[in-house]
Structure formats: structure tokens, C-alpha cells
Amino acid sequence: MSATRPPTSRDVAERAGVSQATVSLVLRDRWRGRVSPARVEAVRVAVRELGYRPNQAARNLRLGRVRTALVVVPALSNDFFARMHTGAARVAGERDLRVVLYPSPEGVGPTPDPFASASATLDGVVASSMAAEALTALSGGGLPLVMVDSEPGRAPAAATVNPDIEAGMRLVVEHLWGLGHRRVAHIAADVDSWTFAARARVLAAGLGLAPGSAPPTERAPLSVRGGLAAAERALAARPRPTALVCDDDLLAAGACKAARRLGLRVPEDVSVTGFDDLALATAVEPELTTVNLPAEELGAAGMRALLAVLDGGTGRDAVLPVRLMRRGTTAAPPPD
């Protein structure tokens, strides 16, 4: 081997005393059941001694891959989606896959195709909380698509990865019902998406309402200000609700502000629950009772599903468990 020529996989194979095919299996971490541990170690030692680096450009050309995935989120101003991106990027980095982040300029809802020819610049897409129709172009031409926190079965997706939204809302209802609350109002996100529709449906069912019925509901944009205005309207009702179930922690923070402005105590006069378990949930006082959605693991699971498809496997839908975080904004209702 020339001192000026970079080492090749052939050099690694000769140094380790194995075939180039064996070197390839070890470098792609696909050796289990095919190559003995002793030979794997010999390849790794040869790689270290020679200072070998795979020619990624040649490998990409051979495989027809650019080793880049697109992660689409509604907005990074919400730390749920920032954490989701962190999980996706961590798993991608472990497999030497680059990540392009695309926050939708429209926020929650449909977004245009961010690339004129996505299939030429991407290997696959992980998308969250998007309208399925907006991603048809991205999934065309065989471009793998994994949907996260989206309606199962609607999107042209290889797999869907969701937190267990329905279980989360059932935990909220059981918690409030166990405390004795019977007058419950819903501060609902004014967003037309599967995840919020699921919350509303399970809330109504958990409260024992007839199918198609709903508890007293005030809709609001996803913001503290929106939650404040909606909660003020809800708390003006007579008889006043003893608990406000909010679709999101931002709405719940606004609901707590509304209660204080009306001279009510949280939780002595009115209980408030959120959803997501954002950093905000423990920044407010009292700390917010909310449903913890595993945002980082959601992103990681979505990226793992995409990588499985890129490796020639089939995408598998997954539902991740959630937890109710019982904190200071819920208590027994006040006596009538």
C-alpha cells in the first residue's frame, strides 16, 4: 500500500485475513449470525490500525442513497417538537444519516413540499402532525414516509408512530373522576387534526356522555393567551365547572392565569390539567398536572422505523406509552 494512497476495504480484508464481503458486513453492522466474533474483532483492529474510512460517496452512489432524511415538524417554538427532533437526530446520527429539519411555515397543519424534487435529494421523511394530503408528493416515487403523532391509516406512510393519546386522556378523566369532579369543561385546541379529535372523543366517552355528545367546550388557538380567553369563557358558566381539561400545556397555563384573574384558586376552586408535559409544566406555580408524552422517544422511534424501511424491511406501526404526572393543579372539587 502506497504511503500516499488512502487504505481501501481490500487492504482491510488483507490485513484481517478475511474477504471484502466480510469487511462490508462488519462495517454495515450486519455481521451477526454470518461472521464469527473473532473475525469481527480482526476487521475492527485492521480498520483502526490502517486508519480506514469508508468512501461514503461511492457507497451512496452504489446504493442509490444520499444518506439524508427530512424531519418535518409544525414549529420549533414548542419544546415538544424540539425534543422530538432531538430523538430523531440522535438515532440518525448513530447510523450516519444526516437530518434536514423543516419546520412548517404555517405552523400546525398542511405544509408545501419543501423540495422541488424530494426523491432526488432525500432517502426518506419523518413527519409530525401534518395533513396527510400535503405529503403525497413526498411519498411519490417510492420515497419512504413515516408519520409521527398522526392518524393511523390515512397517510401514504410506511409506518405510523404515535403516543397513546387515548390512554392519556383516559388517565386524565379517571384522575378527575376519582377526585370527585362531575362538572368538567374542555379547553380544546382549535386545530383540525387527529390527535386533538382523539382527545375530545375519549374525554366525552370517559365522562359518560352519549356518542357524538361533548362536555362544555371552548376552543382556542394553541397559546397561553388563547387558553386564557377560552378559560375565562368556560368559568363564566353557571354552574361553574370544577375542572378544566386542556388539550395542551400552553392552554393549561392560560387557564391557570384566567382563574387567578377571576379571583379563583387553583386547585382549591378549580382544577386544571394539561397535555404534553412541556418544560412549562413545572415552571408554573402550582406545577401542572399533565400527561407526559415521550417526545424524544417518539422522534427516535420514528427514525428507527424509517431506517428499518431503508434497510429493506417493512415499516411497523408503534404506539408508545404515556404517563399522568399528578402535580399541584388538581384536587378535590370545592363543596357546592
Q: What is the pLDDT of residues 110-124, one digit of tens each?
A: 445 554 444 446 778
Torsional sign, CA 304, 306, 307, 313: positive
54: burial class by Cβ within 10 Å (0-12, 13-18, 19+)?
A: middle
pLDDT reported for residue 95:
83
**How confident is the model over 157-186, as a mean pLDDT?**
95
**HEC profile of 255-308:** HHHHHHHCCCCCCCCCEEECCECCHHHHCCCCCCEEEECCHHHHHHHHHHHHHH
Question: According to the model, what pLDDT value does residue 311 have?
Answer: 80
What confidence tens digit (pLDDT) does each residue in 184-232 have? 999 999 988 889 999 999 999 999 988 888 999 999 999 999 999 999 9
Q: What percent of the chain has pLDDT over 90?
A: 53
Cell of 264: 379563583
- Separation between Cα atoms, residue 118 and residue 329, nearest integer Å: 46
Comparison of pLDDT for 246 and 74, the residue scoring more: 246
Q: Mean pLDDT for the chain?
A: 85
The pLDDT value recorded for residue 118 is 47
Residue 57 has what pLDDT? 43
Name the nearest CA neighbour of 163 among 7, 294, 291, 71.
294
Contact 268, 331 (CB under 8 A): yes
Q: What is the pLDDT of residues 294-313, one digit of tens each?
A: 999 999 999 999 988 888 77
> Can you tell me the distance from the alpha carbon of 281 to that of 264, in angstroms, rounded to the nearest whole number?
20
Query: CA 10 to CA 20: how far, in whole Å?
Result: 6
- 102 versus 142: the higher-pLDDT residue is 102
Count of H-run helices and E-run strands, the chain:
12, 12
The Cα–Cα gap between 295 and 195 comes to 14
pLDDT at 29 (0 to 100): 74
Asked if 79 contacts 276 with a C-beta cutoff of 8 angstroms, the reply is no
What is the pLDDT, as a whole number, of residue 5? 67
- Smallest CA-to-CA distance from 203 within 158, 153, 168 is with 168
Residue 142: pLDDT band with limits 50, 70, 90: low
Instruction: Give the pLDDT of residue 99.
Output: 87
> Would you say residue 133 has pLDDT above 80?
no
- Return the top range by mean pLDDT from 23-27, 51-55, 242-246: 242-246
Q: State whether residue 28 is helix, strand or coil.
A: coil
Q: How far, in Å, CA of 75 to CA of 24, rounded?
A: 40
Q: Could you read off the pLDDT of 11-39 as tens digits, one per residue?
A: 899 999 999 889 888 887 778 888 999 99
pLDDT band at 67 (very low <50, low <70, confident <90, very high): confident
